[in-house]
Amino acid sequence: MENLLGYDLSGLASYLEARGEKAFRARQLFRWIHQRGKSRFEDMTDFAKSLREKLAADSVVGLPIERSSSVAADGTAKWLLDVGGGNAVETVFIPETRRGTLCVSTQAGCALACTFCSTGRQGFNRNLSVAEILGQVWWARHVLAQRFQTLPHERIISNVVFMGMGEPLTNFDHLITALHVLLDDFGYGLSRRRVTVSTSGIVPNIDRLREQCPVALAVSLHAPNDELRDEIVPINKKYPLASLMEACRRYVGAAAATGDSGEPGEEFASEDMGWRKWTRAGSPRDFITFEYVMLDGVNDTAAHAQQLAALTQDVPCKFNLIPFNPFPGSGYQRSTDQAIERFQGILLNAGYITTVRKTRGSDIDGACGQLAGEVQDRTRRKDKMALGMSA
């Protein structure tokens, strides 16, 4: 049975045309699935009975199975969704006054092994399919519509961020298809500025993303020099900071070349005022968001902040400082409030927009860096770490 959640609009049109149906049926079916939140063909009332029976014969809208859910004191919701083979991924919804952000996973586990990330400690099993990625969005909209007593097409989820379990850019092809569905007016209809892909720095695929589907880009930086980043973000050994900064400049340059002015009310860098001065119009593709987890005594000194300002001086960017969210056995401590304030002050004085991320959902292990899910680790990372600690 073919899972129709795994198709973008063009793929769905090809699927239906191969079965003797007109292409416009794909738009109708696409809307039923993604805008109206229907998973049963019998509920798709503008289809003839014969078409509904044809669809039911060899296809499904296959949805994730919820293993558990929890809601934090601040309203953050987390779902553990089964993806088969003993694996489950976590999806998080963060409600705010003017927006609702859904944090989506792209892999069962993660192969990159960043030392401060709970997901990285779980090892890696496999990439998620397009249907498993989009299934998280469908599921969250369905559950939240019931929770808030709204219709599925009403926009509870205004932003989607690929910052859950896994490295999105190492599941590139499935990510791109999912992005097309999120941006499609017949799908979820999100604007590019409301969809963010986070990466630890897979340089070739940053370029591919720029060419195929440029959306807001967040780079998990976490260190201002190669020596330290090699230690805490091991992918840096393959794609060191010099090549990563070049990729970031290319990404922003391509966005500027499109002439896309984005939507009103968004921040962007203005050449007339210097790269690090900001106005209130434009697209987030005009700058990179650098994410920087604050680890006590590791990467949070004044010298680190000064190195960071020097490293990124010719990259249109802003910084999002993330207080470390502890998890068992991490070996790290959160930077003090004083250290975070000092670090932020140095970047602000250097002319950078710098925010400190508010910790959300930590009481349900739903905050940044805490997602773990259940991973049948093919890399045996946990066993190797246990042996290393024993030695």
Active site residues: 90, 368
8 Å CB contact between 389 and 104 = no
Q: Whole-angstrom Cα distance, residue 30 to residue 188? A: 10
What sign does the dihedral 164-364-321-287 (CA atoms) show?
Answer: positive
What sign does the dihedral 133-135-138-143 (CA atoms) show?
Answer: negative
For 85-144, give the DSSP string.
TTEEEEEEEEE-SS-EEEE---EEE-SS--TT-HHHHT-EEEEPPHHHHHHHHHHHHHHH
For 123-137, give the DSSP string.
-EEEEPPHHHHHHHH
8 Å CB contact between 68 and 100 = no
Residue 279 has phi, psi (to 5 degrees) of -120, -175
Q: Whole-angstrom Cα distance, residue 234 to residue 111? A: 10
Partners of 199 in beta bridges:
219
- Reduced to 3 states (helix: H, G, I; strand: E, B; else coil), residue 197 is strand
Distance separating the N- and C-terminal Cα atoms of the chain = 49
User: Would strands 268-269 and 278-279 be described as parallel, antiparallel, or unpaired?
Assistant: antiparallel
Quick one: tokens of 355? 């925010």
Q: How many other C-beta atoms can be found within 10 angstroms of the C-beta atom of residue 259?
A: 6
Q: Whole-angstrom Cα distance, residue 49 to residue 54? A: 9
8 Å CB contact between 245 and 317 = no
Residue 115 has phi, psi (to 5 degrees) of -70, -20
